[in-house]
Amino acid sequence: MPLLCMRNIDKAFFGKPANLQVCLEVQHNEIHALLGENGAGKTTLMNMLYGIYQRDAGEILYDGQNVAFSSPKDAIAHRIGMVHQHFTLVPTLTVSQNITLGLKSPGHPFPRRRDLNQQIQEISQRYSLEVDPTALVSTLSVGEQQRVEIIKLLYRDARLLILDEPTAVLTPQESESLFVVLRRLREEGHSVIIITHRIPEVMSITDTVTILRDGRNVATVKTSETSEQELARFMIGRALEPIGRSAAPPSCAGTALQLSEVTLVEHGRSKLGPVSLCVDPGKILGIAGVDGNGQKELAEVILGIRRHSAGSILLGDAVLDALGVMERKNLGIGYISDDRHHDSLVLDMDLMDNLLLKTHTEKRFITHGLLDRKKIRQDTARAVDAYHIKTSALECPIRYLSGGNQQKLILAREMAGQPRCIIAFQPTRGLDIGASEFVHQELLRLRDAGCAILMLSADLEEVLDLSDHIAVIHKGEIMDVLVNQDIDLTYIGLLMAGKRGDERGAVV
Ligand SMILES: Nc1ncnc2c1ncn2[C@@H]1O[C@H](COP(=O)(O)OP(=O)(O)OP(=O)(O)O)[C@@H](O)[C@H]1O
Ligand SMILES: [Mg+2]
């Protein structure tokens, strides 16, 4: 008997189906992948299992019993736990306080912290989930926070764990440690449902894969009996096309974006530089590096979100140093941020208003001194069409679009009006392979049209696929800039780890 059996599940939002007759069967001691494009209905299905949404039709059998959870509390009582893509920890509390939050702990209302910490440490050792129970959550890395989320579920005795895109925010090393944990969980008798877009991950750690497309089942296969190509085909309904990066157009001369000796010092600490870089029109400069090595600072200094401490930034002939964010954007800089919820979108506003965020002062949208809603609607409809954005309505708050579709809207906004320069920071984070392919094609299209693109990505493959030149960043410093041809990956790896070229002989 399977541990979980979801049968013929239906769910619609605003009359538009998100799940149609979906079935999912998870066995005991199994790591089960839920695979599908952005908007395929994966999170919706899991939210119904977890009691966040109520299904319109279908049944859920858990451990042989017909169940209907009206809240996550209900699901947790049945030993089901879920880690959402956006964590729900309280940053100002400690690890241990977060784990026991909302529970009646021994000694309640004066919980015995030392005993609790001991218990947490036991769980953490048993499952190779390394954390310090007394640390403040705000001081933890993303990978550590994720471990806390998992311990929180295990502390509540979860037997079935649902992880929604757990690796989207992790570095490759952190992902590897997570996989060790998942294997441990399986050995200890747990089952895991993991949502991910990364097919190699699915191949390496899962036992079974269920693929959804447009809210319906496409297939369920044993991982050992399928291939990466087959999974890609199931997901997007066609084979992936290799990315074609043509030689850069010769007509573009001069430098579009130039940084000279730019530094950033915050609270007495050097965060960046001195960095000197230039990006030519019609070229992509890829910045490779492990997450958190000054990429965010570099992007934000160029945008004007943070003010650099010394040095100079030029866009063409224009000196940006004294300009504000909007002035820089008006000169033709587009920004794709790595944190779309925080930096790029207003989640409760609809598609039209989000698209208007950068252009609300443009004359074409203003009639008799007022915003012309009809024109805005037409413009949004065009963007939705051109970028294949899946949405139930233009009036839908952007929060309800899937991650990939949110990202496409940002692209539509930032790439409009022939930008001279695009700062693309983790442009495909959390996107499915079809949507990533689309983003890559759009970046290459802009490059071929003469735009200068600075792309920062922790995904080395993405950097290698798209860039004309590659710079490696480590602790806020540019280690080296290379032409992207016959690149020596070991060398890049060493630079990413902070080893300079001249030390190479000694290290290899
Ligand atoms: N609360 C909601 N209100 C309205 N529409 C919603 C809501 N939640 C999800 N949807 C819609 O349901 C569809 C499926 O969304 P879901 O979030 O389940 O996709 P997903 O497979 O998890 O995608 P991603 O990989 O991007 O996270 C989407 O079209 C989305 O816009
Ligand atoms: Mg999702």
Q: Is residue 312 a part of any domain in this protein? A: yes
- CA of 22 from ligand 1 middle (Å) equals 14
Residues 32 and 130 reside in one and the same domain = yes
Residues 401 and 424 reside in one and the same domain = no
Residues 231 and 261 reside in one and the same domain = no
Residue 452, CA atoms < 13 Å, CB-side half-sphere: 19
d(CA 411, CA 407) in angstroms, rounded, equals 6
- Nearest ligand to the C-alpha atom of residue 340: 1
Query: What 3-state class would DSSP assign to 358?
Result: coil
Report the C-alpha dihedral over residues 393, 357, 442, 406, rounded to 10 degrees: -40
Query: What 3-state class would DSSP assign to 292?
Result: coil
d(CA 5, CA 26) in angstroms, rounded, equals 7
Residues 365 and 406 reside in one and the same domain = yes
Residues 136 and 28 reside in one and the same domain = yes
CATH number of domain containing 468: 3.40.50.300
CB proximity list for 507: less than 8 A, separation 6 or greater: 494, 499
Q: Is 75 exposed, middle or buried (0-12, 13-18, 19+ CB in 10 A)?
A: buried
In the listed set 203, 236, 269, which residue is the last one of a domain according to the structure? 236
Residues 412 and 424 reside in one and the same domain = no
Q: Is residue 129 a part of any domain in this protein? A: yes
Q: Do residues 155 and 79 make contact, with C-beta atoms less than 8 angstroms apart?
A: no
- pTM of the predicted structure, to 2 decimals: 0.75
| CA neighbor of 231 nearest in space, from 441, 461, 37 | 37
Residues 29 and 129 reside in one and the same domain = yes
Strand partners, 397: 350
Residues 444 and 395 reside in one and the same domain = no
- CA of 44 from ligand 2 middle (Å) equals 7
Joined tokens for residue 45 = 């299905």
Q: Is residue 343 a part of any domain in this protein? A: no
Q: Which of the listed residues 10, 24, 34, 43 should we mutate to test ligand 1's pocket, taking the one with most ligand atoms within 8 A of CB?
A: 43
Reported as type and span, the H/E element at residue 145 is helix 142-155
Q: What is the residue-level pLDDT of the chain in tens, covering all 508 positions?
A: 899 999 999 999 888 899 999 999 999 999 999 999 888 899 999 999 999 999 999 999 999 999 999 999 999 999 999 998 777 889 899 999 999 887 776 666 777 788 888 989 999 888 888 888 999 988 887 778 888 999 999 998 899 999 998 887 777 777 888 899 999 999 999 999 999 888 889 999 999 999 999 899 999 999 999 998 899 889 887 766 666 666 655 555 667 899 999 999 988 888 998 999 999 999 999 999 877 788 999 999 999 999 999 999 999 988 999 999 989 988 999 999 887 887 888 989 989 888 888 777 777 778 888 888 888 899 899 989 988 888 888 889 998 888 888 989 998 888 887 899 999 998 988 788 888 888 999 999 999 999 999 999 988 888 999 999 999 998 899 999 999 988 888 888 888 878 775 544 433 3
- CA of 13 from ligand 1 middle (Å) equals 9
In the listed set 236, 268, 293, which residue is the last one of a domain according to the structure? 236
The residue assigned the tokens 């693309």 is 424
Q: Is residue 314 a part of any domain in this protein? A: yes
Dihedral sign, Cα of residue 265, residue 306, residue 430, residue 422: negative
Q: Do residues 250 and 435 make contact, with C-beta atoms less than 8 angstroms apart?
A: no
- For strands 310-315 and 318-319, give the pairing: antiparallel
d(CA 165, CA 34) in angstroms, rounded, equals 10
Residues 438 and 470 reside in one and the same domain = yes
d(CA 86, CA 430) in angstroms, rounded, equals 11
The residue assigned the tokens 């990505």 is 457
d(CA 391, CA 384) in angstroms, rounded, equals 8
Residues 361 and 388 reside in one and the same domain = yes
Q: Count the domains in the chain.
A: 3
Q: Is residue 338 a part of any domain in this protein? A: no
Amino acid at 294: G
Range of the domain at 407: 349-416
Residues 113 and 225 reside in one and the same domain = yes
Atom of ligand 1 nearest to the CA of 406: 26
Q: Is residue 344 a part of any domain in this protein? A: no
In the listed set 416, 441, 461, which residue is the last one of a domain according to the structure? 416
Residues 259 and 290 reside in one and the same domain = yes
d(CA 74, CA 417) in angstroms, rounded, equals 50
Q: Specify the residue with its C-alpha closest to ligand 1, atom 25.
A: 38
Q: Is residue 340 a part of any domain in this protein? A: no
Q: Is residue 374 a part of any domain in this protein? A: yes
